[in-house]
Structure 1
Amino acid sequence: MYRYLVRSLKSPYHEILNLRTKNLKHILLSFLTIQIFLGLIIFYRNDNTLKSIVQVLTVDDFQDGTILYQKLRYNTSSIWIDDYELNKDILTIKFGPQKGKKIGSINELSFYDSDPRLIWSVYLNHLMTMDETSNDPITIPFSWYDWADFHMFNKLMSVTASQKINISCNFLMEAAFNKTVLESIENQLNEPLFSYERKKYSDPFWYKNTRKLDHSLIGIQIPNHCVPNPNGNERFNLPYIITGLYDKLRPEVYELHARNHMLNSLRHPLSLTIMNKDKTSYRVDLDRDRKANIIQSNLLSEFIESKQTLGNKQLFFDHTFIFEDFISKPIVKKLEVKIEGIDKDIYDNDFIHLKQTDFEFDPFDKIKKLETNIENLNSHEKNYLESLKYSINTNPALSPKHFDEAKNVQQVNGMGFHRDKRFYNGALIDHEQEYMQRLNSLIRNFQKFIKANGLISWLSHGTLFGYLYNGQAFPWDNDFDLQMPIRHLHYLSEHFNQSLILEDPREGNGKFLLDVGSSLTIRTKGNGENNIDARFIDVDSGIYIDITGLSVSSEKVQDNMAPYIDIEKFNEVVLQNKTKFDSTFLEEEGEGLASLSITELQSYINEHEDEFDGTIKYKIGELIKGETERKTNSKFFVNNLSRKERYFLNRQFQLYNCKNRHFSTLEMLSPLITTSFHGVDALIPHKFITSLRTEYKLPEKFGFTTFQGNVYLPELRYWFKFPILKKAANINKIFDSLNSLTSSLNDIKLSDILIVYHNLLRIGSRDLFANLYTSFDVTTYRMKEIEIQYDDSLDAIEKLKYLSLLRKQVAPNLESPNKDPVIYDYEKRLWEEYGRHVSTSKITNVCDYVDVRYANMLWEKVESLQERRLDLFKVKDNRDDTIDLNNIGLNLFTGSDKMKNTFFKEDPSLHIV
């Protein structure tokens, strides 16, 4: 390992990082300490010894900074850097006018941050005291305060709790904060209340224009959205309550506004779903009628008392140890989710075969079955039944929008459109790293969640497109798109709608609300307000996954699906099967307005004008106008078919659609291919290239690619923003302080990759470089997958053998390509605190030292990949024989196929089992 430092010091690229020679001796003396630490972090991976090492280091210490920085920047494991203790953490006030004060009891607390180690320990301890033999359902207390990030809210609360400043509703109802009030708050905090564009408040011109408000309008809005807290200045709350969301605000204002609403006015989930990795899940019902955090519910007192009786002088909250204990207890058998008709081991297969019945669902039959057992339904089943009954009685053209985005948040470049309005928690625009971390956590947890419960879902649209290149989403995507067969969408709704899904605490700290829409039985576009069937929402940011169900329906097939329909065969089948229409037509008419066609609905509205406002009348007219234009512009014969005939055609040719009129065929989808996405198991359509070509202009070549200011470098398996890449490559040799490449970007030499790495660090793109390091294995995995899939020297059976080995032996060892966002935020605060106690030069030296070391470590990986000796791909088969996958498949890194290929012209030929 010493050669990394030697190489970095002797290399000409050392000058790029400009390490200060006066600290060189310090760096060398520190090196042995770091090596010992890095060895210990592996040896004591699941032990508290590492944490104790961190605790004995002083703040003003080079080694301490080096350990913290490398953990922050390059370690994506879910290990916390320190312990959570009663006295050190919860009984020591962390911010506000009383920062640093130690209190004697939890009863003196007015606020606390919901550290996962604290919350998990307390709740798991409580669950293990429950009687697993009782027939009564287990219900536990709940408050959003314990299960979401309220850090900024708490900072404000620390000021109001001390009664230093009196804040009114106006503070959270104006477009930007009142500067005078804001400065008073920050004087009490002795730190900024928020960071995003905080400096703009010092710009008089910006402040004046942003604060230009119709105060009479605000006066009208406040009573509709904000009221005084009836309990006054109570603990764990502000003296006013947001009763309805109003998002025409700056992001920092709306963050506090939305968190207040979440705490006080947002309905509790039906349950908590606790993940046990991707193996199984446990569900426990929540008390929806009373808001009670761990102090108000006495759960924390219960925990402290149970531990103190054991004679513990220093009380630690070791949540992962407690979790291991929890999953070994009999109580989990009672809590485990079991879905009838589901194969939970289905992801063990290389291919998953879909059936036509997966895309058909009879809601009327389901309602009958549920109602015959009404007395024994659990809370989720009751909720599901009510949803079905509502949906079948709602006309598609009148279905109200279920999901609401924070689209009116001001000065965020429209980014609010990609965030759930209820869970918005800051702009994240200037925190690209955290945005990527939250997206990564989001998709990894959804994939683990559906696998644990045997549910089927596959990557689609832009998410599938991103996977194609490097096994990750496009870095410019703001959400994910996944599809499910309608039958599995109903499983999802029946068992998990309105459940808060919790990541296994041994793997991370994600918390996600599963929210299924109220128009599940409507399978046509209707008014277009509910194209999305469900969302998996990160409650600490509002970022989400769009989930759409595919089913057979009476929707008009799009013109691009014409090649999949044999018109002559259809006409022949129609003549022979007219009598079968009624028996196969599952889109039965509902009652009342739900039974009316769009033209019949328009007639009804015209006859009952007093029952509908002008907006509805206008929208119905526009829908009819749009359908008429669509029929006129398309010569496709399906436009002349009746509703039942369209349903029969779609069913006959196995054409399945989502509510946004995206169609797929069963042949295109099935059998689904099991692969890896963001380092976890995922499914993709069998004909994934064909599927993408129905939507996008897909390049035929896998290689150097440009798209809207972004550049894909296959050698680095990463998408770069062109301005950054241009600077890192020092194109045209503009920057004297940077080395220039000796080759072109579209055919970069191996030696030039190291120059790109060092230049990225030199120009300050440390986050980007860290991403290249932490995602190396995930992106290399995808490249190896392509090399095997498109190697014509391998027959289909050989491809299957090696792809199966890759998935079963290599994929489980893939680390997350990004850090857990909660741990990142925690470590970032520690790093900022460290920075306040040491000199700028020491900070620079710490960063330079660690970055140089990891640049050389990454370079070593690149060399191993180029020489086809990467340890990642050395695996064992079922006879325990070693197989080196390095030498299997094409060589896309340095071989001739790197530049000359048309891989994405068609789907790879794979053996089906």
Structure 2
Amino acid sequence: MLHQFAPLRFRRKLASISLLLVIVQNETSIAPIINSIYKILTNPKIDNLNPKFTSHFINSKIDTELDEKYIKSYLEFRQSKHLYDPIITLSVYLNYLNTQYSENSVKIPFSWEDWVDLSYLNEFLDDGKSLTCKQFVDKYKYEIDFEWNDSTPSSSLVDKTNCLDTMDYIITDEGKHRSKKLLPGFNFQKKLDKVSTFMGKAYNAKSYLLSYAPKPDFIYFLTDNGKYFRAETKQSSSMLRNGLLKNFLTSESYNGFNPIEQLSKLNKFYEIEHEHTFKLRLNNDNNYQIDIPDENFDVDFATRYKYLFETDDSLLKDNELNFKNSLKRSFQMKTEDIPKYLDEVNITPNHEYRGHKVRENGNHYDSRFFAGFISEMPASEISIHNPRSILNNSEIKSTATPENIKNSILSHLSHLLFTVTFNDGLFLIPAHGTLLSWYFNSMSFPWDEDADVQMPIGDLAEFCLRYNNSMVVENPKYGTAKGYVDCGTAITHREKGNGNNIIDARIIDVDSGMYIDITGLSVSEDEMDENYLKKFDKWVSNELKIDYNILQESRQKEVEMERAYKLRDERERAEKEKLQRERELLKIEKENLEKEKESFEAAKKNYDNKENKNDADDKQRKEKRNLEKSVKDIHKQHKIFNCRNRHFYSYDQFSPLRLTLYEGAPTLVAVNDSALRSQVEIDHDALFNTEHKNYHFSKPLRAWLYAYDILQAELAIGLNPKPDKSVNEIKKNNQIEAREVCPTYRENQVKVFYELVKQSIYDTTSEDLIYTYEYLMDEERNLKNQSQVINYLSKIPVYFKTEKKPFINIFEEVYHNKELTHAHEAEMKLYDNTWNLSDPNIIDNLKPLTNKESLGEWMLKDHAPPRVPLYDYIKFAEQEFKIDKTE
């Protein structure tokens, strides 16, 4: 039932719609609607008034009046259950880091219990609910190939199961850091490689993080302008058991939980700004361009990191020692024998969950941080929740959509990675589908589940040396994303080999297991096929083909010579056998022994002379081969490099690079527009295809619209798009392809868009955005400051909404990406005259960026990711229904 004030607010909504859309009467263009939206959302007074629309954590501080009650509940809950509150964790750890700096130390205790939502395990903590390792394996259908009896101690099978029952685990070195009350009964030493249901994999991952996952070597706390604080870690129990939280709450400086404030208190003396940051280098170039040194694509690891091998292990930092050991292992392995390093989630195919077949697979999740398939689960079961909702201990209601959760995760993880590498002066470039998504609007596609980036091998090596086995924490002004960096152990091998390690490294979202693939680019011995040779016609000279032809001709001659040598060897072997038979006859014919012996010795002498001649021929042949160019030599000469999945590029396709933004973070792409398009390696038409599966790209909004939303709008105004399936069938899955609805949409664009706007207004929060705008613009109210507005809005009652909510809220979408898409449009018009993904009639009321200087200067400023921070979004989606009993 709607709140008693709903009718009044509903009338306000209708009045707002009328005010917004009156301009479109008798209009045939969609531009007036969009221009009205831009006008409202670019007003600075709208910023930060609404949790759903805010771009940072200004609303995430726990209210002062709720501190005591909330903290009491939090402390009580964590005595017997798992709970993760990112605001508390960040505040406490940053505060402790500040005390360490004052004591000239930068080492902080670490427990995954404080940094990951382990509440999945709570269901096993109640009396009688815990499971032994065997019970767990049986329940979640792990495929095992050994016998396991109920009476078998878990310690006797730990080599096969990688699992210890709590009674066996609690006495281990790792167990001493854990509270027995918080152990689920099963304690996994490793991620399980055996096939299981996806929930079995999720519980396995959470148990592993709790019980055995090693600490990161460092935590990087990002700050403003690409700087960061770096802290070394030491294994510890949780902050409740080691005293960190208690010390924070009882300190004289305690004033609630605000990670932004805690970060600002850190001693700037310890703040790190890398001397090779691209910001300094690009500021010195009026064109905001930079060249990649071609030696970055060819590294002699033994020479470059000789200093590590000459330094005693005891004098190296953890990251240096780990990198040194990784190089040792890589040197010792053969390319064809390298085992797979990075593991995804291996689930039982076609299994059911809650009565439906699981559609997602585990290919886009890291197995250690896997938290379940977000799109397969009811909102109440997804592991990422507002901690207040978990404290409420009742059914969780949420308006969050799986796609919006994924979009937020990928947006902030990308922002993390690009920010770190750019400001460390490491070349990292969007690749494949990620580059294509940048081409449209500088953000990931809404259907993306991962991202792809590439680094020259020299830059990748430095990235792994500095960041491998580290956790990077987002600037709390922008969110609470945490990325764990994991680099493979075969970096010196640059050929595809057995294909197990085509990905060199990943940065993994700690909350979900989603990740970004990082591949290295280097010269290698992998050969190009005919298609790639044709592709390089415009990028390298004809000498490349000539060298490849010479190489192939040489190989053909070599094959022919091998055949000739084989025939020669066969003839000589037959002759030798004949001589041997003759020798045996000599034994029988004693009377001719001396004569036959002389004949045999003469023949043997002749044969030995031939053997010596053959050895000389082989030696000459090997010397000739050594003089010929190898594949790697050819690639090095012509500046051809590739990743381990045999994607080949020429140097001129990458360099020079220019400044751009992706997901709000600075990065680099090729200056040459045709080079950019060639990197995508797809049909040229895809760069301008505004329809993809369930989405349509709206040029006026510079954003992707969900086809099902378009269908809902079409049906609401009486249009008949005639989809392939019945409407009832489509509504079952909330999915329809864009090609089925876009013809009708294009014929009735203004009417359909009018309806989409109305649906978006219905989906605005209780602090109605449009009404907020009207209220702010009412001069009779004569508000003196923004705090009065916030105070007024906080008193507006929350009510349940019954209207249909669109998947893509137009206001939310435009609010978050308006500045970034504005800059991207200006950038593409400056650099690429073929880019046509804009509407010339749209005015977005932002300051125009008309030249490279103004554009570059703006890009080098800090920008928030375009998507709502994950926990802000979850907080809104769950608090909208007023389910928090602490209020």
State whether TM-score is above 0.5.
Answer: yes
**Matched pairs, number:** 658
Could you say if the C-alpha distance between residues 11 and 126 of structure 1 is closer, same or farther in structure 2, counting changes exceeding 3 Å? closer
Counterpart check, 1:771 vs 2:813: yes
Could you say if the C-alpha distance between residues 401 and 766 of structure 1 is closer, same or farther in structure 2, counting changes exceeding 3 Å? closer
Q: Which residue of 2 aligns with 1:733?
A: 719
Counterparts of 2:652 and 2:292 in 1: how far apart (Å)?
9
Q: Which residue of 1 aligns with 2:219?
A: 272
Counterparts of 2:703 and 2:45 in 1: how far apart (Å)?
31
Amino acid corresponding to residue 87 of structure 2 in structure 1: R
Q: Check whether the contact 1:508–1:820 (CA below 8 A) recurs between aligned residues.
A: yes
Counterpart check, 1:173 vs 2:110: no
User: What CA RMSD, in Å, does the superposition of the two structures yield over aligned residues?
Assistant: 4.2
The CA deviation at 1:397 is 0.4
Higher RCO structure (Cα 8 Å, ≥6 apart): 2
Q: Which residue of 2 aligns with 1:416?
A: 362
Q: Check whether the contact 1:262–1:422 (CA below 8 A) recurs between aligned residues.
A: yes
The CA deviation at 1:338 is 4.7
Amino acid corresponding to residue 306 of structure 1 in structure 2: S
TM-score by length of 2: 0.66
Counterpart check, 1:434 vs 2:381: no
Counterparts of 1:655 and 1:785 in 2: how far apart (Å)?
29
Q: Which residue of 1 aligns with 2:164?
A: 227
Could you say if the C-alpha distance between residues 836 and 275 of structure 1 is closer, same or farther in structure 2, counting changes exceeding 3 Å? closer
For residue 294 of structure 1, the aligned residue among 239, 245, 252 is 239
Could you say if the C-alpha distance between residues 345 and 299 of structure 1 is closer, same or farther in structure 2, counting changes exceeding 3 Å? same
The CA deviation at 1:75 is 2.7
Q: Check whether the contact 2:745–2:752 (CA below 8 A) recurs between aligned residues.
A: no
Q: Which residue of 1 aligns with 2:635?
A: 650
Amino acid corresponding to residue 303 of structure 2 in structure 1: D
Secondary structure of residue in 1 paired with 2:649? strand
The CA deviation at 1:479 is 0.7
Q: Check whether the contact 1:278–1:448 (CA below 8 A) recurs between aligned residues.
A: no
Q: Which residue of 1 aligns with 2:734?
A: none
Q: Deviations over 1:130-153 (max 9, x none)?
A: 25685xx73221111111122333
For residue 83 of structure 2, the aligned residue among 109, 113, 116 is 113
Could you say if the C-alpha distance between residues 522 and 742 of structure 1 is closer, same or farther in structure 2, counting changes exceeding 3 Å? closer
Secondary structure of residue in 2 paired with 1:733? coil
Q: Which residue of 1 aligns with 2:118?
A: 150
Counterpart check, 1:684 vs 2:669: yes
Counterparts of 1:642 and 1:299 in 2: how far apart (Å)?
66
Aligned residue runs from structure 1 range 451-530, under 5 A: 451-530=422-501
Q: Check whether the contact 1:282–1:337 (CA below 8 A) recurs between aligned residues.
A: no
Aligned residue runs from structure 1 range 610-625, under 5 A: none
Could you say if the C-alpha distance between residues 212 and 279 of structure 1 is closer, same or farther in structure 2, counting changes exceeding 3 Å? closer
Amino acid corresponding to residue 389 of structure 1 in structure 2: K
Amino acid corresponding to residue 433 of structure 1 in structure 2: N
Could you say if the C-alpha distance between residues 494 and 413 of structure 1 is closer, same or farther in structure 2, counting changes exceeding 3 Å? same
Q: Which residue of 2 aligns with 1:83?
A: 62
Aligned residue runs from structure 1 range 255-654, under 5 A: 255-287=202-234, 290-307=235-252, 316-328=256-268, 330=269, 332-333=270-271, 336=272, 338=274, 345-346=280-281, 348=283, 350-374=288-312, 376-408=315-347, 410-411=351-352, 412-430=358-376, 431-562=402-533, 563=537, 564-568=539-543, 645-654=630-639
Q: Deviations over 1:505-545 (max 9, x none)?
A: 22210111111110111111111111111101101111111
The CA deviation at 1:363 is 0.7
Q: Check whether the contact 1:703–1:712 (CA below 8 A) recurs between aligned residues.
A: no
Q: Which residue of 2 aligns with 1:757?
A: 757
Counterparts of 2:263 and 2:120 in 1: how far apart (Å)?
29
Counterparts of 1:168 and 1:836 in 2: how far apart (Å)?
35
Secondary structure of residue in 2 paired with 1:71? coil
Q: Check whether the contact 2:456–2:521 (CA below 8 A) recurs between aligned residues.
A: yes
Counterparts of 2:492 and 2:237 in 1: how far apart (Å)?
36
Q: Check whether the contact 1:570–1:649 (CA below 8 A) recurs between aligned residues.
A: no
Q: Check whether the contact 2:277–2:422 (CA below 8 A) recurs between aligned residues.
A: no
Counterparts of 1:75 and 1:766 in 2: how far apart (Å)?
19
The CA deviation at 1:491 is 0.9
Q: Check whether the contact 2:294–2:651 (CA below 8 A) recurs between aligned residues.
A: yes
Q: Check whether the contact 1:13–1:758 (CA below 8 A) recurs between aligned residues.
A: no
Amino acid corresponding to residue 73 of structure 2 in structure 1: T
Q: Which residue of 2 aligns with 1:138?
A: 106
Could you say if the C-alpha distance between residues 7 and 743 of structure 1 is closer, same or farther in structure 2, counting changes exceeding 3 Å? farther
Counterparts of 1:414 and 1:535 in 2: how far apart (Å)?
20
Counterparts of 1:643 and 1:725 in 2: how far apart (Å)?
62
Could you say if the C-alpha distance between residues 214 and 767 of structure 1 is closer, same or farther in structure 2, counting changes exceeding 3 Å? farther
Q: Check whether the contact 1:672–1:685 (CA below 8 A) recurs between aligned residues.
A: yes
Aligned-pair identity (%): 22
Q: Which stretch shifts more, 164-173 or 409-418? A: 164-173
The CA deviation at 1:8 is 1.9
Determine which structure has more spread, i.e. the larger CA radius of gyration. 2
Could you say if the C-alpha distance between residues 145 and 444 of structure 1 is closer, same or farther in structure 2, counting changes exceeding 3 Å? same
Could you say if the C-alpha distance between residues 641 and 681 of structure 1 is closer, same or farther in structure 2, counting changes exceeding 3 Å? farther
The CA deviation at 1:168 is 3.8
TM-score by length of 1: 0.64
Q: Which stretch shifts more, 554-563 or 708-717? A: 708-717
Counterparts of 2:278 and 2:757 in 1: how far apart (Å)?
46
Counterparts of 1:172 and 1:277 in 2: how far apart (Å)?
46
Could you say if the C-alpha distance between residues 573 and 675 of structure 1 is closer, same or farther in structure 2, counting changes exceeding 3 Å? same
Counterpart check, 1:661 vs 2:637: no
Could you say if the C-alpha distance between residues 344 and 172 of structure 1 is closer, same or farther in structure 2, counting changes exceeding 3 Å? farther
Amino acid corresponding to residue 640 of structure 2 in structure 1: L
For residue 782 of structure 1, the aligned residue among 824, 827, 832 is 824
Counterparts of 2:479 and 2:668 in 1: how far apart (Å)?
22
Could you say if the C-alpha distance between residues 442 and 343 of structure 1 is closer, same or farther in structure 2, counting changes exceeding 3 Å? closer
Could you say if the C-alpha distance between residues 697 and 726 of structure 1 is closer, same or farther in structure 2, counting changes exceeding 3 Å? farther
Counterparts of 1:326 and 1:403 in 2: how far apart (Å)?
36
Counterparts of 1:812 and 1:687 in 2: how far apart (Å)?
24
Counterparts of 2:518 and 2:324 in 1: how far apart (Å)?
20
Q: Check whether the contact 2:165–2:186 (CA below 8 A) recurs between aligned residues.
A: yes
Secondary structure of residue in 2 paired with 1:676? strand
The CA deviation at 1:319 is 2.1
Amino acid corresponding to residue 15 of structure 2 in structure 1: V
Could you say if the C-alpha distance between residues 118 and 801 of structure 1 is closer, same or farther in structure 2, counting changes exceeding 3 Å? same
Counterparts of 1:744 and 1:426 in 2: how far apart (Å)?
38
The CA deviation at 1:317 is 2.1
Q: Which stretch shifts more, 232-241 or 384-393? A: 232-241
Counterparts of 1:218 and 1:472 in 2: how far apart (Å)?
53
Q: Which residue of 2 aligns with 1:239?
A: 185
Counterpart check, 1:250 vs 2:197: yes
Amino acid corresponding to residue 70 of structure 2 in structure 1: D
Q: Check whether the contact 1:278–1:451 (CA below 8 A) recurs between aligned residues.
A: no
Could you say if the C-alpha distance between residues 9 and 485 of structure 1 is closer, same or farther in structure 2, counting changes exceeding 3 Å? same
Unaligned runs of 5+ in 1: 15-34, 46-66, 94-101, 177-209, 576-639, 794-798, 839-913
Q: Check whether the contact 1:269–1:500 (CA below 8 A) recurs between aligned residues.
A: yes
Counterparts of 1:509 and 1:316 in 2: how far apart (Å)?
17
The CA deviation at 1:819 is 1.0
Q: Which stretch shifts more, 255-264 or 777-786? A: 777-786
The CA deviation at 1:360 is 1.6
Could you say if the C-alpha distance between residues 175 and 678 of structure 1 is closer, same or farther in structure 2, counting changes exceeding 3 Å? farther
Aligned residue runs from structure 1 range 808-823, under 5 A: 808-809=857-858, 812=861, 815-823=864-872
Secondary structure of residue in 2 paired with 1:128? helix
Amino acid corresponding to residue 6 of structure 1 in structure 2: A
Counterparts of 2:226 and 2:859 in 1: how far apart (Å)?
18
Q: Check whether the contact 1:704–1:746 (CA below 8 A) recurs between aligned residues.
A: no
